[in-house]
Chain A
Amino acid sequence: MDLNDAVIDHLRQVAALPDLTGTRYELESEIGRGGMGVVYAARDRQLDRRVALKVLDSALAGEAQLIAHLEHPAIVPIYETGVLPDGRAFYAMKLVAGARLDQHLAGAPSLGERLRVLRRVGEALAFAHARGVIHRDIKPQNVMVGEFGEVYLMDWGVEAVAGTPAFRAPDDRLSQLSDVYGLGALLRFMLPASAPPALRAIADKAMRADPAVRYPDAPRLLADIERFQEGLAVEAWSEPLWHRLRRFASRNAVLLWLLAAYAGVKFLLFFLRNL
């Protein structure tokens, strides 16, 4: 037989497709590749709905078991796990219609929207951490923003996934603090060029090389973002005096306007009395 390059490419393509014989699913198309496997759009014939089907590279089923235990609005629900006739493990999950975070950011959303998305991701992380699960591979490509603004943190890691260089903590041993680093890297990635220094400082603090001086957990990072949004001083940044005054003025604008009006009226009365 003539095994030319075209034949080999064809074989690689057809033999890599998941064999769904005997399952309730019908393959539609490939929609992405993540750590340890490929994700396909498929149709669930029994329930007549579209699902996302992640087929893992080997028989590792730990990833599905891991996520199946995490029920959270920002974590994609798992419908079913199983093993294909070819021995590969798979799991079916909700098919999220929307855009990956990097695509979502291309639409230049407001700073408020960016922080909303980041907070949803951080909440999912905090939830998983509380259950002893770490993500290991936080990056824009693993965050989906749905059509109605829902946010999902996808592709929960298994042992073999070591993260993506630009978002990976330089830690010897991956832990929840490595995820805090990843969340900081995600924040830095999401900030526009005009972002306030307090937000940059939050990202920097989360991304310290020494895990001991990062935020101790995701909720502490989120609390600092919340402080920023409420116009309070953030833990990560010792701001200069002029900045503190400006923030004070911005938070107490109404009071300052009233004081100014009062002073103006007093001055006017004083002026009129002396005419």
Chain B
Amino acid sequence: MGGPRGQFPSTQLSLLEAASSGDTLPNEALERVSALYWKPVYRFIRVKFRKSNEDAKDLTQTFFAAALQRDLFARFDPAKASFRTYLRMAVERFAANQHAARNRQKRGGNLEFEPVEEWAATAESPEQAFEREWQRQLFALALGDLRAHCEGSGKQLQFEIFEAYDLSSGDRPSYAALAARHGVAETSVTNYLAWARRMLRELVTERLRGVTAGERDLRDEIRRLWT
């Protein structure tokens, strides 16, 4: 979580600001990166190299451990690419090397691909899978922040209405139905939703700030996310 329970998460330092405090990223910054990127990296490896669930998990774990040892984050140059692109390319190189090394160990080149049928139905590219998972994880983290903020500041009702409407994966209830269910005016439902969406946007921005290389990178990510 980005801050003490019940309070608005504190403003996060950008990766560059965090890195400038030493040769390597401090643990807190690394935790932010792995919180957001673990699942996208796992998903990318699974789709790109057709790894089994367990193998993909192992490779993801090994990647993040190796990234720490090799100062991968310190070598990031924001002038060349966004941090997201840089990380995905780093994963690709790393996993390709690991994949090749493992296959060399297996005499006779006994490749460990999963049956092709499982992947044939997947139309999206590994890069798309990475992006989609990154987006999902970003929202999941920001929604976690929002829930914690609401619980800590006595705004459970706002979150419940937001959850019932904006997080519904089926038919959305009408504003009138929500107002009746929670015993509030319909205008309050509108206001609560507007507030929660605004908060969510701010929290997403804060999460992004912690994993981007500065204002320019942050702005580009925000633009990509909302357009």
Binding site for B on A (CB under 8 A): 1-8, 10-12, 14-17, 19, 21, 33, 36, 38, 57-58, 85-87, 160
The answer to whether residues A87 and B226 also contact, given A1-B143, A5-B132, A160-B219 and a CB cut-off of 8 A, is no
The answer to whether residues A8 and B222 also contact, given A14-B166, A86-B201, A160-B216 and a CB cut-off of 8 A, is no
Cα distance, A16 to B168, chains bound together (Å):
18
The 28 listed contacts between A and B (C-beta, < 8 Å) are: A1-B143, A1-B163, A3-B139, A3-B143, A7-B169, A8-B135, A8-B136, A8-B139, A10-B166, A11-B167, A12-B226, A14-B193, A15-B198, A15-B201, A15-B226, A16-B226, A19-B194, A19-B197, A21-B191, A21-B194, A33-B227, A38-B227, A57-B219, A57-B226, A58-B215, A58-B218, A85-B198, A86-B198
The answer to whether residues A14 and B197 also contact, given A1-B163, A3-B139, A57-B222 and a CB cut-off of 8 A, is yes
Binding site for A on B (CB under 8 A): 132, 135-136, 139-140, 143, 163, 166-169, 191, 193-194, 197-198, 200-202, 204, 215-216, 218-219, 222-223, 225-227
Closest A residue, CB atoms, query B227: A33
Cα distance, A149 to B223, chains bound together (Å):
34
CB neighbours (8 Å) of A58 from chain B are 215, 218-219, 222
Closest B residue, CB atoms, query A57: B223
Q: Are B198 and A19 in contact (CB under 8 A)?
A: yes
Cα distance, A240 to B87, chains bound together (Å):
60
Candidates A3, A10, A19, A38; contact of B140 at CB < 8 Å: A3
Q: Are B166 and A87 in contact (CB under 8 A)?
A: no
**Nearest CB in chain B: distance from A158 CB, A:** 11
CB neighbours (8 Å) of B191 from chain A are 21
